[in-house]
Amino acid sequence: MKELLHRVHTRRRVIVRMLRNASLALLGAAGGAVVVKRRKLLREGKCLNRGLCRDCGVFEQCGLPRALSIKSVFARIHHGE
């Protein structure tokens, strides 16, 4: 009886580890896909933030027409033109 309980416990431990590792692999793959997609969009010159420049993390380095227009407006406002 004790050996049977030990086998069941060992089997459960193996299944739990497999599920944990599978979920970690899935999370890693999803994170990698997001990074690859973001880099692809940047290479193609597409907006990452759906045109919402003010809260964008790459606004300062962005060279897209909308961002350049907003930067020029901000420059005019700050220089009093």
Model-wide pTM > 0.75 = no
Provide the pLDDT for residue 76.
81
pLDDT in tens, 15-28: 999 999 999 999 99
Provide the pLDDT for residue 81.
56
DSSP structure class, residue 41: H
Structure tokens at 58: 């790459």
Cα 80 from Cα 66, distance rounded (Å)? 21
pLDDT in tens, 30-61: 999 999 988 888 778 777 777 677 777 777 77
Provide the pLDDT for residue 38.
82
